[in-house]
């Protein structure tokens, strides 16, 4: 079963809360300065831990995104270089063919002038 980060944090928080509430003697303790019972303070810690886990998950997810971006960028750079190389080869071949064709046409013109001049 696959569970995303938020669901994992929520389930973990519920399990920890159930374990904390089941602790003997906790409910008998009097409230402290903030007026909350120790069980509620424990729940607050659980919530804080859940938020921390959520932030860590977001950090991990953003790191995975950065790594994926870097790999895509590398692949894109390689593909762009391949396109540049192919483009240079294409235009080099076009220019070579034009030069060959011009040389051939010059020879033909020279032959035609020589025939006409006879």
Domains of the chain: which residue ranges?
A: 5-117
Cα torsion angle, 96, 101, 102, 108, sign: positive
User: Whole-prediction pTM value?
Assistant: 0.39
Residue-level pLDDT, tens digit, the chain, 118 residues:
445 556 676 776 776 666 666 555 555 555 555 555 555 556 667 767 777 777 777 667 777 778 888 888 888 888 889 999 999 999 999 999 999 999 999 999 999 999 988 6
């Amino acid at each position: 079963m696959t569970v995303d980060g938020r669901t994992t944090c929520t389930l973990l928080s519920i399990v920890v809360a159930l374990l904390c509430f089941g602790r003997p003697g906790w409910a008998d303790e009097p409230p402290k300065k903030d007026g909350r019972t120790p069980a509620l303070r424990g729940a607050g810690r659980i919530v804080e831990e859940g938020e921390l886990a959520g932030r860590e998950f977001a950090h991990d997810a953003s790191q995975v995104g950065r790594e994926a971006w870097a790999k895509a960028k590398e692949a894109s750079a390689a593909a762009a270089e391949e396109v540049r190389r192919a483009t240079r080869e294409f235009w080099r071949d076009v220019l070579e063919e034009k030069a060959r064709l011009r040389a051939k046409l010059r020879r033909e013109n020279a032959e035609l002038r020589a025939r006409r001049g006879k």
